[in-house]
Every structure is written in structure tokens, then in C-alpha cells.
Amino acid sequence: MHELSVAGAVVDTAIAHAAGRPVSVVTVRAGHLRQVVPRSLRFYFEIVARDTVVQGARLELEIVPGRLGCRACAHEWDVDSPAFRCPRCGGGDVTVLSGDELEVESIEVEEPTPCTA
Amino acid sequence: MHRVKVRVVEDALDANNTIARANRADFDRHGVTVVNLMSAPGSGKTTLLERALSHWHDGPRVGVLEGDVAGSLDADRLAHHHVPVVQLNTDNGFGGECHLDANMVRSAMDALPLDEIDMLIIENVGNLVCPAEFRVGEDARIMVSSVAEGADKPLKYPLMFRACELVVINKIDLIEHVDFDMDTFLYHLDAVHPGVTSLPVSARTGEGVDAVRSWLAALPDRVRAVA
Ligand SMILES: Nc1nc2c(ncn2[C@@H]2O[C@H](COP(=O)(O)OP(=O)(O)OP(=O)(O)O)[C@@H](O)[C@H]2O)c(=O)[nH]1
Ligand SMILES: [Mg+2]
Ligand SMILES: [Zn+2]
């Protein structure tokens, strides 16, 4: 369900940067901790893009693995499941080093080829 | 035609966050502390507000912004308790939005009695995921989870349980009937959001609601101390 909201935000961002040009590819980096289900995001992306310059664009999705760091003991570790306490010292003051991004990295747009003749 | 690659590198929620900051600046200018109240549909957000605000004498003057999917049922319930309430209808004729975003709250700005209140509580649309993604200009977020939903909810919806400063565990009057194990819930909550404050309440019987009132009453000072 939340993929519909995410798809809307992604498509809006792409539209804002397309400046009216048709978009053929949208590249997105989504952190593992954002709980985005790729298949579901693609499904909604296609629907939300309809009747906009993003219609028919391909969604390139990169899932960024989750990595946490402990402020107390400086331990760093990969997370796969929602466990946010430091496995080394048990501390709860933890920073997300990667895995919470939701970023439109780039778009590819179609432009008329300038006449060089 | 040829293809051109355009570098974007922008958080997909940037547009929303920019408007949220503008809302926050407006609220700050009026000295209003803002709470975003979130939960799954039916966890008891409105009932908790009715309880907490109906015998609310001293402490900050509170207003409520109701983000119902459709209709004004929740707003009417609160107005009944003499709480100033503004209804934000997210209905687009087809059921409405699954969450509030910063722009919807912005659209209600002129209708809010910001000079007559010290605290605004925004009841978000009942949903266990999307509201976590969309800041609206709040100072703090409260997540209500009812025992009827089960003890595993923090594990299944970590986004929401991480994006809040207070977890209210509601409907504790039903604990025996729904086979809810409090220790299991707290264990999962601690794994997902270490150290977060949690308060068990029954919005129905009123048990524990005083602690929620105290938490709210102390919030403006806490927010100011951090700023
Ligand atoms: N037994 C029991 N029932 C409760 C409690 N709090 C709320 N309810 C009931 O749960 C139902 C939903 O409560 P609401 O307060 O409308 O929940 P809500 O979160 O505002 O719902 P939406 O705004 O529709 O998402 C109502 O029938 C309430 O009477 C509680 O502490 N105990
Ligand atoms: Mg309600
Ligand atoms: Zn540690």
C-alpha cells in the first residue's frame, strides 16, 4: 500500500526535473529499511505515470542494503531485519549509515536532435 | 529524437519536506507546538483525544486538525467535547487519501485558530505505513497501537514505530480477550525503536490516559529545550 505513495513521490520528482520532455528511464535508489517492495513499486509506478511525461518510462530500481552504526561503541553492522540495538554492546543509540534513502538518482529524457545540417 | 541523461539526486520526498518546513515555520511563529497522531484504522486515535481533551483544564490550549478520509464524523465527536476542531477532507470523491501530506495541512492553515491555541494535534488518516513517510510540519509524533492488533506489529511495521516519539498502547481493557502479551510487544518495540517511551492506556475506561495528558502538557517545554 505504501508503494503507491512512494511511486507518487518518485513520479512527481521525475516530472519536476523533466521540464516537459518525455521521460524514458527513471533511476531510483531505495534503502532496504524503507520497506519498498520492488514488484509493487513497479506496478504503481506505471499507474501513477499514466497521462504524464513519465508515462511508459522504465523504472530502474537499486535497493541499498541497510547498515547501522552504534554511537556508544562504534560497531558497524549490516541489518536485514528490524533489529536496531547494537549486537555488540546492546546500546540503543544507533545511526543509520545506509538503507534509508529514497532517492531519484537520474532520469533519461527524449530531446529533439538539433539540426546540424 | 535522442536520449539525454539528467542527474537528479533528490530525495523523492523533498518537495513534501520543503512544504513541511514552511508549515513548521508558520506554527513556530504562532508559538504552536504540533503533534502528528498516527495509527492503523480504528486503533482509537479519536477516542483517545476525546478522553484526553474533555477534562483538559490547565496546560496548553489544544486544537485538533482532523484528517479523515471522508465525512466529518471524527470532527463532530470532538466538537461535542468543546475542542476547537478543523476538518481536513482528503476525499477526492473516490474514498480519499491514505495519509496526510504537508500540502494538505498547508491548505488548512488559514482555517486554524493559531492565535487561540498553544498546541495543535493532527489526527492523521488511519494507516500503518504511509504516514511515516510524510512529515507535515510537526514537532512530535505519537503512534497509537491497540492490543487488538497483536504484539507483532512493531516488527511488521518498523517504519511507523521508528518514526515516533511516543507509542500509546491502547485498548488494554481488552487484553484478556485478545491474547495480547505485553512483554512480547515491548520486546519487539525495543528492538525496532530502542528506548522509545510507551504508555499503556484504555481510551474507553480512561485508565492510563492521565499519563498521556502529562506527556502532552510537557511537550511544548521539551520541544523548546531542544530548539
Ligand atoms: N474496548 C476498547 N475500545 C476502544 C478503545 N479505544 C477506542 N475503542 C473503540 O475502537 C473503535 C475505533 O475507535 P476510534 O477512536 O474511532 O479509532 P480511530 O483510530 O480514530 O479510527 P480512524 O480515525 O477511523 O482511523 C471505536 O469503536 C472505539 O469505541 C479502548 O480503549 N477500548
Ligand atoms: Mg479517528
Ligand atoms: Zn555498541
Residue A4: left if φ>0, alpha if ψ -120 to 50, beta else—which one?
Answer: alpha
The residue among A2 and A83 whose pLDDT is bigger is A83
Domain covering B2-226: architecture = 3-Layer(aba) Sandwich (3.40)
pTM: 0.94
Query: For residues B118 and B97, is the Cβ–Cβ distance under 8 A?
Result: no
List pLDDT tens digits, range A53-108: 999 999 999 999 999 999 999 999 999 888 999 999 999 999 999 999 999 999 99
Q: Would the CB atoms of A84 and B9 count as touching at under 8 Å?
A: no
Which amino acid is it at B45?
K
Residues B136 and B163: their CA atoms lie apart, in Å, by 13
The domain defined by A2-65+99-109 carries CATH number 2.130.10.30:
no
Output the pLDDT for position B109: 95
Q: Would the CB atoms of A105 and B7 count as touching at under 8 Å?
A: yes
Q: Pick the residue of A3, A4, A5, A41 with the most B CBs within 10 A to test the interface with B by mutation.
A: A5
Tell me if chain A has a CB within 8 Å of the CB of B9. Answer: yes
Q: How far is B194 from chain A (nearest CA, A)?
A: 5
Q: Taking each helix axis as running N to C, give the angle between helix A2-18 and helix A38-49, from 0 to 180 degrees, rounded to the nearest 10.
A: 50
List pLDDT tens digits, range B61-107: 999 999 877 778 888 888 888 889 999 877 665 556 789 999 999 99
Q: Would the CB atoms of A103 and B134 count as touching at under 8 Å?
A: no
Is residue A112 very low, low, confident or very high in pLDDT (cuts 50, 70, 90)?
Answer: confident
List pLDDT tens digits, range B112-163: 999 999 999 999 999 999 999 999 999 999 999 999 999 999 999 999 999 9
The neighbour count for residue B217, using CB atoms within 10 Å, is 15
Domain ranges of chain B: 2-226
Query: From the CA of B160, how far away is ligand 3's center (Å)?
Result: 24
Q: Would the CB atoms of B192 and A84 count as touching at under 8 Å?
A: yes
Domain ranges of chain A: 2-65+99-109
Output the pLDDT for position B24: 98
Which residue of chain B has the CA closest to A23?
B3
Measured from the alpha carbon of residue B64, the closest ligand is: 2
Residues of A in contact with B13 (CB under 8 A): 9, 102
User: Percentage of chain A with pLDDT > 70?
Assistant: 97
